[in-house]
Amino acid sequence: TSSFPVYTQEEVTKHRSLEEGVWVTYKGGVYDITEFVAMHPGGDKILLAAGGALEPFWALYAVHGQDHVLDILSGYKVGELSPEDVKQQQQNRDTADPYSNDPPRHPALSVNSLKPFNAEPPPALLTDNYITPSALFFKRNHLPVPKVDPETYRLEIEGLPGGPVSLSLEELKSRFPKHTITATLQCAGNRRSEMNKVKTVKGLNWGIAAISNATWSGARLRDVLLYAGFGPEVAAQAKHVQFEGLDRDVTGTVYGASIPLNKAINEEGDCLLAYEMNGEALPADHGYPVRAVVPGVVGARNVKWLGKIVVSEEESKSHWQQNDYKGFSPGTDWDTVDFKSAPAIQELPIQSAITQPSEGSSVDRSMEEVTVKGYAWSGGGREVVRVDVSVDGGKTWHVANLQNSQKGQGPAPSPPPGRAWAWKLWEIAVPLPPEAQELEIVCKAVDNSYNSQPDSVAPIWNLRGVLSNAWHRVKVKIDE
């Protein structure tokens, strides 16, 4: 039994402003979060829940439903919700799960968050195939998967002199040549868990597999923009191409991002409005029926369930372009961070990681060598030219063998300069050092601009845990 007063929903509903107080309910409790909202810039999103239940919001942003948030909330408890109202809420909830349209997923995925769905494949599976099977491709959704009817789907294109243009899926497929590229997508938060070990960061705790490689087919973004009226007079003014998704939050805000105009319009940019992934229609989780594929650029700009393209002098105004997916100094904290002061991440830095063996596993001394496998990739179309592997923590190094195609198919021809969009898998057998009882396996990659990875995490730590690309290290025991 609790000592808190009991409130009806009607009473709670009266508190929905900073002046009247901001009350919310959560699991039958009533909370006065006025102080919390006033203290937290951006906490105003929570005002939308004011006077009502937090649950539908946490269903949308389940990643916030973490223990520390519950701890914070408990400090603001002022009462209990009346039992009749609790029952009513439960009934509403059962019929209003915004995630009820989400597709089934492969059980092998390791799930970081269910609602929205975020998951990565087990590292050892990741590098079994040069092309990641779509079911195992990492999935990064900020919102529920929208239901899109291919018959009524329209892609709107705005910001060009002839006025808005609207294309059906059929038109997108039939009016423009179909172009196919192999491109790796990587989330800005890949390997965030390693930053978390240095000092807590905000975001999904990704391991090393928020990266995958697929073939993508569709219309060239360039062809579609030219068709829609892009010309020299636009080029003189516009600087960005904005994308809007059809996925939306409870307030109707859609996912959005933008890329530089040059990347979108350049013949060698290879940007696609993709309707196929690995030779099949895009799966629901990957943007059915159409997504932007912006090769060499951070996952966040590869907008899924693409509904609108806007050619503009300005970047996307979306939260994810303006106030997220930016890098900062290790010295910048949540009190001092100014998101306006840093550019939005576009091209990603050089990256590599070890997928085999796994941390804490062991190798048998009688094997005499250890086989190490992994992936390497760089942003901006820069080609990985070398991967160095050490089994003694970085004292001595060996050069790994690079693979740029599916095994058994022979090496693919080298991509044209500046257009290496796909990762390389690598592998090497290193002799076991005679005296060692434990190995510290390390990898680092080099791209054709001779960019290399930093040796440790701390100097690149940042509060959002993005751009985590230090040498990857894995400790393995030797069984005598």
Which residues form the interface with ligand MTE (CB under 6 A)? 137-143, 185, 187, 245, 247, 255, 285-286, 299-300, 302-305
Q: Does the annotation count 64 as an active-site position?
A: yes
Residue 305 interacts with, from Mo ion, ligand MTE, none (CB under 5-8 Å by kind): ligand MTE
| Minimum gap (Å) between residue 188 Cβ and Mo ion | 5
Catalytic residue among 64, 154, 386, 398: 64
| Minimum gap (Å) between residue 187 Cβ and ligand MTE | 3
Residue 462 interacts with, from Mo ion, ligand MTE, none (CB under 5-8 Å by kind): none
What residue number has its CB nearest to Mo ion? 187
Order of all β-strands in the sheet with 424-431: 351-356, 369-377, 424-431, 401-403
Catalytic residue among 26, 61, 153, 325: 325
Q: Does the annotation count 191 as an active-site position?
A: no
Tell me whether residue 244 or residue 447 sits nearer to ligand MTE (CB atom): 244
Tell me how long the chain is: 480
Catalytic residue among 16, 26, 76, 140: 140
Tell me whether residue 34 or residue 118 sits nearer to ligand MTE (CB atom): 118
Catalytic residue among 40, 105, 386, 398: 40
Decide the pairing of beta strands 211-220 and 178-186. Answer: antiparallel
| Minimum gap (Å) between residue 228 Cβ and Mo ion | 28
- Cα dihedral: 354, 358, 359, 362 (round 10): -130
Tell me whether residue 50 or residue 297 sits nearer to Mo ion (CB atom): 297
| Minimum gap (Å) between residue 141 Cβ and ligand MTE | 5
Residue 286 interacts with, from Mo ion, ligand MTE, none (CB under 5-8 Å by kind): ligand MTE
| Minimum gap (Å) between residue 422 Cβ and ligand MTE | 15
Tell me whether residue 54 or residue 345 sits nearer to ligand MTE (CB atom): 345
Residue 350 near residue 384 (C-beta atoms within 8 A): yes
| Minimum gap (Å) between residue 350 Cβ and ligand MTE | 18
Tell me whether residue 190 or residue 390 sits nearer to ligand MTE (CB atom): 190
HEC-encoded secondary structure of the chain? CCCCCEECHHHHHCCEECCCEEEEEECCEEEECHHHHHHCCCHHHHHHHCCCECHHHHHHCHHHCCHHHHHHHHCCEEEEECHHHHHHHHHHHHHCCCCCCCCCCCCCCEEEECCCCEEECCHHHHCCCCCCCHHHCCEECCCCCCCCCCCCCEEEEECCCCCCEEEEHHHHHHHCCEEEEEEEEECCCCCHHHHHHHCCCCCCCCCCCCEEEEEEEEEEHHHHHHHCCCCHHHHCCCCEEEEEEEEECCCCCEEEEEEEHHHHHCHHHCCEEEEEECCEECCHHHCCCCEEECCCECHHHCCCCEEEEEEECCCCCCHHHHCCCECCCCCCCCCCCCHHHCCECCECCCEEEEEECCCCCEEEHHHCEEEEEEEEECCCCCCEEEEEEECECCCCCEECEEECCCCCCCCCCCCCCCCCCCCEEEEEEEECCCCCCEEEEEEEEEECCCCECCCCCHHHCCCCCCCCCCCEEEEEEEEC
| Minimum gap (Å) between residue 215 Cβ and Mo ion | 20
Q: Does the annotation count 325 as an active-site position?
A: yes
Residue 143 interacts with, from ligand MTE, Mo ion, none (CB under 5-8 Å by kind): ligand MTE
Interface residues with Mo ion (CB under 5 A)? 140, 187, 299-300
Catalytic residue among 26, 142, 187, 375: 187
Residue 219, CA atoms < 13 Å, CB-side half-sphere? 21
Q: Does the annotation count 443 as an active-site position?
A: no
Tell me whether residue 256 or residue 299 sits nearer to Mo ion (CB atom): 299
Q: Does the annotation count 142 as an active-site position?
A: no
| Minimum gap (Å) between residue 65 Cβ and ligand MTE | 18
Tell me whether residue 22 or residue 300 sits nearer to ligand MTE (CB atom): 300
Residue 375 interacts with, from ligand MTE, Mo ion, none (CB under 5-8 Å by kind): none
d(CA 424, CA 399): 14
Residue 473 interacts with, from ligand MTE, Mo ion, none (CB under 5-8 Å by kind): none
Tell me whether residue 142 or residue 473 sits nearer to ligand MTE (CB atom): 142
- Positions marked active-site: 40, 64, 140, 187, 325
